[in-house]
Structure 1
Amino acid sequence: MNRDVRAAVFRPDDERTDEAVELLDSLGADPVPDPMLAVEPTGETPAPGDYVVMTSKTGVELVAEAGWTPGDATLVAIGERTARAMREAGWTVDLIPEEYSSTGLVQMLEAEVDGNRVEVARSDHGSDVLTDGLADAGADVHETVLYRLVRPEGSGESAELAADGEVDAALFTSSLTVEHFLEAAAERGVRDAAVAGLNDAVVGAIGEPTRETAEAHGVAVDVVPETASFEALATATVEAAAPSYRE
């Protein structure tokens, strides 16, 4: 196994970081966990709707803990991770799109939501693609912000390592992780050097929106996995950084 790949990962400072470190370690990389997201609950729960759309495991867990249940609504999950959390809460998941994204949700629902009230419950950084797309399909759309995503205090160690040329791979899991990384780099006075360091490394983005955000800020993206999952992102990025890592 090749331990020369130092891979920076920016997932929230909860079990997702632990899972990421474990996976990267199993791939033979040297993980650098630097969480760029922290969850601040708003205390809100979804409003009633004919359809209730939830876009994250975090959101599901927050509202389940608050005692919310979907009632007779058609319950929609953005992907399997969210659906699994719903089932663990004791709810029945009715719909999951083939493509785990806002676009995939719109494509799945647009033919059936005309005239229906659709409740979208998510973070404060949800994409307008979902709400605008459902509204264009004739739905009465209401959005509830369940939690805010903020940058943890003290984040940015990976930015300094990148600026010093000591990061071989970087794994961005959302547009917000890109923006928070660059904010942390700027706070530490190393933004330009950190971008240059990333451009000498292998950068992975979990999907096209994340890639577009990174490239808009001057960060070249080398890897976008076919499947928008962290496992696919990590595997493809480490493979690109060190093709021999399985040897």
Structure 2
Amino acid sequence: MVTRAAHQAEPLCRAIEAHGGRVVRFPALAVEPAGGTAELRASLAVLQQGALLVFVSPNAVEYGLKLLPRDKPAVQLAAVGRATAKALEQAGWPVDILPQSGFDSEGLLASEALQQVAGRQVLIFRGEGGRALLGDTLIERGAQLSYVEVYRRVCPQLDVGPLLQRWPTEVQLVTATSNAVLENLLQMLGPAAQPMLLATPLLVISRRMRERAQQLGFRRILLAQGADEQSIMERLCSWMAQSNHWQSTIDDG
């Protein structure tokens, strides 16, 4: 089951299908532009030479680049993960700073380029109410930090009845790429279906997500090395190979 927002799910769905998998599409997250566009544009009109623009997700790229002034001064770009970096590069914005591992806020903060930011203008492009760790740490390091909240996450209103009927025979694994998706899934399926969800193998894309999934009661959790399609597919294929080997051992036994 692919739970990404509908406008971002198809690359992963196509990758799964190309490897012979069957996809159940169930967007457990919707994304819409944040309000206050005029105010955001005004704040971005005063970019300083050498400012650092940090993008925390592909959604931040999609909604944030539209607000940047065309005659921007020379700036540096940082991406939290590979999927975000890919979105920037596809839009014609080369990435200067990318984590070497981890592909999350902790990984980005470990980058050598972010160790000395005292006095530097730093803008974090994110959704409303995003994680505080990245910004708080950069402030501690002396950055002149501003948040540019360009989108909001909402829980879709969907009829889950057809999904629940199909679940026992068609849903063998659930993929999730944010904690908001995990929270929304539990809310959307409701208390009666939560035991079925929590018993289904779950693929997540960060250690922080794995910890949250454990807190919520998920029992079988797979960890991919990133949110990009390649990382997810590598973990999916590894899981399938292990599952097939286990089943083969039972059959042979």
Shorter-chain TM-score tier: 0.7 to 0.9
Aligned with 2:140 (options 136, 146, 156): 136
Could you give the per-residue CA deviations for residues 202-239 of structure 1, whole angstroms, max 9, x where no partner exists?
A: 21111112112211111124210234434322442354
Does residue 38 (structure 1) correspond to residue 30 (structure 2)? The answer is: yes
The answer (yes or no) to whether the contact 2:201–2:221 under 8 Å persists in 1 is yes
Q: Residues of 2 paired with 1:115 and 1:52: CA distance? A: 14
TM-score, normalised to structure 2's length? 0.79
Does residue 29 (structure 1) correspond to residue 21 (structure 2)? The answer is: yes
Residue 9 of structure 1: aligned partner? 2
State how 1:1-247 maps to structure 2 within 5 Å: 8-14=1-7, 16-42=8-34, 43=37, 44-45=40-41, 47=44, 48=47, 50-66=51-67, 68-69=69-70, 70-99=72-101, 100-108=103-111, 109-154=113-158, 156=160, 160-161=164-165, 167-186=171-190, 191-194=191-194, 196-237=195-236, 239-241=238-240, 243-244=243-244
Residues 154, 145 of structure 1: alpha-carbon distance in 2 compared, 3 angstrom cutoff: same
TM-score, normalised to structure 1's length? 0.81
Could you give the per-residue CA deviations for residues 127-160 of structure 1, whole angstroms, max 9, x where no partner exists?
A: 1111111112221221110000112221646862
The answer (yes or no) to whether the contact 2:199–2:220 under 8 Å persists in 1 is no
Percent of residue pairs bearing the same amino acid type: 25
Q: Residues of 1 paired with 2:205 and 2:166: CA distance? A: 20
AA matched with 1:24:
I
Residues 94, 166 of structure 1: alpha-carbon distance in 2 compared, 3 angstrom cutoff: closer
Residues 157, 35 of structure 1: alpha-carbon distance in 2 compared, 3 angstrom cutoff: farther
Instruction: Quote how far apart the aligned CAs of 1:164 are.
Output: 5.0
> Which has the higher mean CA deviation after the structures are superposed, 83-92 or 122-131?
83-92
- Equivalent residues, number: 233
CA RMSD across the alignment:
2.8
Query: After TM superposition, what 4+ stretches of structure 1 lie above 6 angstroms from structure 2?
Result: none
Residues 220, 13 of structure 1: alpha-carbon distance in 2 compared, 3 angstrom cutoff: same
Whichever structure has more helix as a proportion of its residues is 2
AA matched with 2:143:
A
Instruction: Quote how far apart the aligned CAs of 1:200 are.
Output: 3.2
Residues 199, 79 of structure 1: alpha-carbon distance in 2 compared, 3 angstrom cutoff: closer
3-state SS of 1:104 partner? helix
3-state SS of 1:141 partner? strand
User: Which structure carries more relative contact order (alpha carbon 8 Å, separation 6+)?
Assistant: 1
3-state SS of 1:120 partner? strand
Residues 33, 135 of structure 1: alpha-carbon distance in 2 compared, 3 angstrom cutoff: same
